[in-house]
Amino acid sequence: MAIATSAQGVGARRARSRPNWALLVIAVFMGPVGIQAALFPRSFFDDFPGGRAWVAGAGGPYNEHLVRDVGVLFIALVIPTIWTALTRAGDRALATAWIVQGVGHLAFHAAHLHELGAADRVGLVVSLVAIPILGVVALLSPTERSVEHRRDQGSTPTTAPAELP
């Protein structure tokens, strides 16, 4: 007598147990940005990143309230990003949020590149493109459901011999 067994849960558990690395990288990039903006808003405005003045160079007056709020919002988004990356619960929704944020952020700064030198233009665009790209990678990262769907579409249960008592 043979007992039908399925590898059904194995691939799904493996996908769930692996962190969503793209989301973790976003958290690593954005955490320090949020902390600097929230705790040191003037420094963030005048110096970010590392004395390059990309924020002040984009134009507009300094507004402590706005800079602190943006910093706190980044921190607030980084916390569920880390949680979601580790638990894989809702990672598609959070990846989509980072894509929306990243594309909007990129669009603003792309319209204000004339304020910067060539090296800063390249550095700014590369750093801003990274977040939406990582968001797309996070969206494409296998989840428990995607592993189960692939299994249901193409694989069949394996048959193992029955064990005798």
What pLDDT, in 10s, does the model give residues 51-73?
Answer: 888 888 787 899 999 999 999 99
Model pTM score: 0.76
| Range name among 35-44, 69-78, 112-121, 149-158 with the lowest pLDDT average | 149-158
Range of the domain at 140: 11-149
Q: Is residue 1 part of a domain?
A: no
Q: Is residue 128 part of a domain?
A: yes
Which whole number is the average pLDDT over 66-92? 96
Q: Is residue 139 part of a domain?
A: yes
Per the structure, how many domains does the chain have? 1
Please give, one letter per residue, the 3-state secondary structure of 49-89. Answer: CCCCCHHHHCCCCCCHHHHHHHHHHHHHHHHHHHHHHHHCC
pLDDT given at position 56: 85
Residue 49 preceded by cis peptide, ω within 30: yes
Q: Whole-angstrom Cα distance, residue 38 to residue 163? A: 62
